Amino acid sequence: MKNFFRIIFLIIFLFGFQHNSNAAEKVEYLKTDWSFKGLFGKFDRASLQRGYQVYTEVCSSCHSMKYLSYRNLAEKGGPEFSEAQAKAIAASFEVTDGPNAEGDMFTRPGKLSDKFVMPYENIKAAQAANGGAYPPDMSVLVKARGGGVDYIYSLLQGYEDPPSGITLDDGVYYNKFMYGNKIKMANQLSDGLVEYADGTSSTVEQMSKDVTTFLMWSAEPHLESRHQMGFKAIVYLIILTILVYFSMKRIWSRIETEV
């Protein structure tokens, strides 16, 4: 019996130590006002369009978004570019197609039905171009990382010189929000890096927020419709509850009168 209690005590101690250790390692992410949070949350269209611009001009040279098609850019609930704008965006990319009548592959301007052009032909090519590291696909990156949008938003702004005593290998950088604080992706953002079409100042903070908003939409393209459906369901349940309440009250009033 004594051994049993000792084992129980040891298990509780180990779990408590692990919990305290995780709490000590936890990093507080940067916070910002996300327009899409909450029951009535909606995407900021201007931010989504700016986020696509940041992805195209900064991120797309390494990171793919294989689950998105150019037509998605014009769909309701997303960046909502006009159809003409979406066609122009698609046509600005060269897409490999074929084979043609002679059996050869060829390139053509992109169409709305095409998937986003991949930066590399395959995984091996991506790793060879990035020192052995594979840049993850960004289509659902927000959902694949603990911390979600706050983590991505913070990571993009978390580059700094390593504390004294920490040495980094070549091609490795210090980021205070990265798990383990070491990352193989160099800092990609700097103030004024892109020129926003709407005249918004392209600070690192603004670009981080915009591209993260775009990544949130790519991972949750039907978020707004789900919010609307949830709101309608809540209203329906409230009305149903009220009707049931008055129906029961009327039934019980008859019973009390008869008694």
**pLDDT number for residue 23:** 38
Question: pLDDT tens digit string along 36-90?
Answer: 998 889 999 999 999 999 999 999 999 999 999 999 999 999 999 999 999 999 9
Q: How confident is the model over 91-95, as a mean pLDDT?
A: 96
- Per DSSP, the three-state class of 106 is strand
Question: pLDDT tens digit string along 153-203?
Answer: 999 999 999 998 888 988 899 999 998 899 999 999 999 999 999 999 999
C-alpha–C-alpha distance, residues 220 and 211, integer Å: 14
**18 pLDDT exceeds 50?**
no
**1 pLDDT exceeds 70?**
no
* Nearest in space to 70 (alpha carbons), one of 10, 112, 42: 112
Percentage with pLDDT > 90 across the chain: 62
- Supply the pTM of this predicted model: 0.80
**pLDDT number for residue 231:** 60
**pLDDT number for residue 243:** 80
Whole-Å CA distances, 70 to 6, 56, 118, 213, 224? 62, 12, 13, 17, 20
C-alpha–C-alpha distance, residues 184 and 62, integer Å: 12
**pLDDT number for residue 259:** 56
C-alpha–C-alpha distance, residues 145 and 147, integer Å: 6
> E-assigned strands of the chain?
94-97, 106-109, 173-174, 182-183
Provide the b/e sequence for 217-241 (b: ≥16 CB within 10 Å): bbbbbebbeebeeeeeeeeeeeeee
Highest mean pLDDT among 99-108, 206-215, 219-228: 206-215
Range in 2-11, 48-57, 120-129, 153-162 the model is least confident about: 2-11
Give the position of tokens 């993260």: 212
Question: Residue 19: which pLDDT band, with cuts at 50, 70 and 90?
Answer: very low
Question: Residue 244: which pLDDT band, with cuts at 50, 70 and 90?
Answer: confident
Provide the b/e sequence for 96-134 (b: ≥16 CB within 10 Å): eeeeeeeeeeeeeebebebbbbbbbeeeeebeeeeeeee
**pLDDT number for residue 6:** 53
Range in 74-78, 99-103, 109-113, 196-200 the model is least confident about: 99-103
Question: Residue 5: which pLDDT band, with cuts at 50, 70 and 90?
Answer: very low
For the chain, what is the mean pLDDT?
86
Are 152 and 158 in contact by the 8 Å Cβ rule? The answer is no
**2 pLDDT exceeds 70?**
no
Q: Is 18 exposed, middle or buried (0-12, 13-18, 19+ CB in 10 A)?
A: exposed
Provide the b/e sequence for 169-196 (b: ≥16 CB within 10 Å): eeebbbbebbeebebebeebbeeeebeb
